[in-house]
Amino acid sequence: FYRYTLTRTWSDGPILLWILLNPSTADERKNDPTLRKAIAFSKAWGFGGLVFCNLFAFRSTDPRAMKREEDPVGICNDSVLIMAAHDADQVVCAWGNHGTHRARAREVLELLQDPEEMAGRVPELWCMGTNQNGTPKHPLYLAMSTKLERLLPVVASA
């Protein structure tokens, strides 16, 4: 079962796109711990809403189960990521250590930096710091004082 996007809006302010690893238990009615934390960060940074997208659209609370899935990305995930990044006011990458699975993080970074794919509107990519392996940190256990910083992708610009 897949979830491609999840939206929360609380005011008329700008929209922050979060790109995480894969969907967990949150849905249209219920927030999970990661979504609650992302809402708190987004509000603190002055955003009026957020959109959650993921490197992998397969829904699972366990990254190991997601990694065992035959098609964890999902058939329309790239299109959803492109549309969401194009429509967002800012993009924060926050998929954590497991983003290296199937080289998916690199694939998504290349996609988001491709002027043709992005219809000429290549977004600046932000993160909340990086892990030792260079992946952008996941928000769940970060302090609320954490600031956004530019993500310097390892892919060449087109």
Q: What is the model's pLDDT at position 8? A: 99
Q: Angle formed by the axes of helices 77-87 and 104-112, to 10°?
A: 40
Domain ranges of the chain: 6-150
Class of domain 6-150: alpha beta
Categorize the per-residue pLDDT at 153 as very low, low, confident or very high, splitting at 50, 70 and 90: low
Residue from 69, 56, 70 nearest 24 by CA: 56
Work out the percent of the chain whose per-residue pLDDT is above 90: 92
